Amino acid sequence: MQTRSRFRPNPKSLYQRLNDEAQRLRKEARGTQPGVERERLIREARQAETASHMDKWLSSPGLQAPR
């Protein structure tokens, strides 16, 4: 008996999902009072943006494996 794979492909790229998450976090941070929670949201947004830039850089056609 075969079992189903639990993996469901997401139509959005990792780059786009990370950018969407960063935008959502920044929007949420704008609605909170200054303090620890707001700083945490901003830090997570920066991390998501950095990860999206790294993903874009790593998947760029200019980056080639050594031969």
Rounded Cα distance, 20 and 48, in Å: 9
Q: Per the domain annotation, does 32 fall within a domain?
A: yes
Q: Per the domain annotation, does 26 fall within a domain?
A: yes
If you count them, how many residues does the chain have?
67
Higher-confidence residue of 50 and 3: namely 50
Local confidence band at 1 (pLDDT 50, 70, 90 cut-offs): low
State how many domains the chain has: 1
Q: Per the domain annotation, does 38 fall within a domain?
A: yes
For the cut 80, the answer to whether the pLDDT of residue 45 exceeds it is yes
Q: Per the domain annotation, does 8 fall within a domain?
A: no
* Dihedral pair phi/psi, residue 21, rounded to 5°: -65, -40
To the nearest whole number, what is the mean pLDDT of the chain? 88
Domain of residue 32, residue span: 14-58
Q: Residue 23: what pLDDT?
A: 96
